[in-house]
Homo-oligomer: A and B are copies of this chain.
Amino acid sequence: MTMQLYDLVGTGGLRFSPYCWRAKLALAHKGFAPETIPCKFTEIPNKVAFADHDRVPVLVDEGTAVPDSWRIALYLEDAYADRPSLFGGEAGRGMARFVNSWADSVLIPALAPVLLPDVFDCLDPADTSYFKETREKRFGTSIPSLAERRDEFERRLASALAPMKVTLKRQPFLSGETPLYPDYIVFGSLMWGRCTSDIDLLGGDETLHAWHDRMLDLFDGLARQAPRRAA
């Protein structure tokens, strides 16, 4: 039976959720190509209620429902231990959690104000009111006023990327010589922007772009081929 992944969908079928991308890349690393089940923001609570959860991604594998990108990575690692490892052992699993924590507490909050105006333009029309209300409440300001401060937010993002730059000057992937789950955490987060925006989130940095290109090439160009916002 094919695995199923509940995935956020925007206008024109765009798939831009950073957390769903983490899961899709982890699945690809393990050699799985799940059937994805598109969910608009406003459909998610009903569609994934069976998993006792209210966000995507949710993975369903032979009747087992696994919510949350981090838990999905752990599930895949343990259930499919005979396939290529996502963590490279127990130490890697522990350290990958630090990368996941950094991505959730630093990278995503640095990306969000840069990307939100463009993400807003990529929503399914059914989701615009929900998104506007929740995000304007979260950021304490309107979406157009975020767009006006884009330069400031891009500078903050560039500063947040410093640990990646330092790392990638010394080794080809965040995980070392080969890509492992930490690379998918970070690159998956950046797919949020690739699918919705023309902004260069990497600020023209050559080291970061070289890594990003390597990531786009993985799995026969899985991420490179993902639909992007129409020009």
- Given that A88-B89, A89-B89, A102-B102 are contacting pairs, would A94 and B162 also be in contact in the complex, using a CB cutoff of 8 Å? no
Known contacts A87-B91, A92-B91, A175-B91; decide if A98 and B163 are in contact (CB<8 Å): yes
The 3 closest A-B pairs by CB, nearest first: A94-B176, A88-B91, A91-B92
CB-CB nearest in chain B for A176: B94
A101 within 8 A of B: yes
Residue A52 at the chain B interface, CB threshold 8 Å: no
Q: In the complex, which residues of chain B have a beta carbon less than 8 angstroms from the beta carbon of A106? A: 162-163
Chain B residue, CB-CB nearest to A182: B95
Task: Of the listed stretches A115-123, A164-172, A195-203, name the one at the interface; the rest are far from the partner chain.
Answer: A164-172
Q: How far is the CA of A180 from the CA of B93 in the complex (A)?
A: 12
Task: Provide the bound-state CA to CA distance between A105 and B166, in Å.
Answer: 8
A144 to B83: give the CA distance in the assembly, Å.
58
Complex Cα gap A162–B104 (Å): 10
Q: Dominant SS at the A interface?
A: helix
Q: Say whether A99 faces chain B, with CB atoms less than 8 Å apart.
A: yes
* Chain A residues within 8 Å of B, Cβ to Cβ: 85, 87-99, 101-102, 104-106, 162-167, 170-171, 173-177, 180, 182
Tell whether, in the assembled complex, residue B167 and residue A101 are in contact, meaning their CB atoms are under 8 Å apart.
yes
Contact B95 A175 (CB under 8 A): yes
- The answer to whether A170 and B97 touch across the interface, beta carbons within 8 angstroms, is yes
| Contact present for A105 and B180 (CB under 8 Å) | no
Q: Which of the residues B85, B95, B105, B177 comes within 8 Å of A162, measured between beta carbons?
A: B105
The reply to whether A91 and B176 contact each other, CB–CB distance below 8 Å, is yes
Find out whether the CB atom of A97 lies under 8 angstroms from the CB atom of B167.
yes
| Residues A95 and B89 in contact, CB atoms below 8 Å apart | no
A94 and B166 contact, Cβ closer than 8 Å, known pairs A89-B88, A89-B89, A102-B102: no
A91 touches B91 (CB 8 A): yes
Whole-angstrom distance between the alpha carbons of A92 and B97 in the complex? 12
Give CA–CA (A94, B98) in the complex, Å. 13
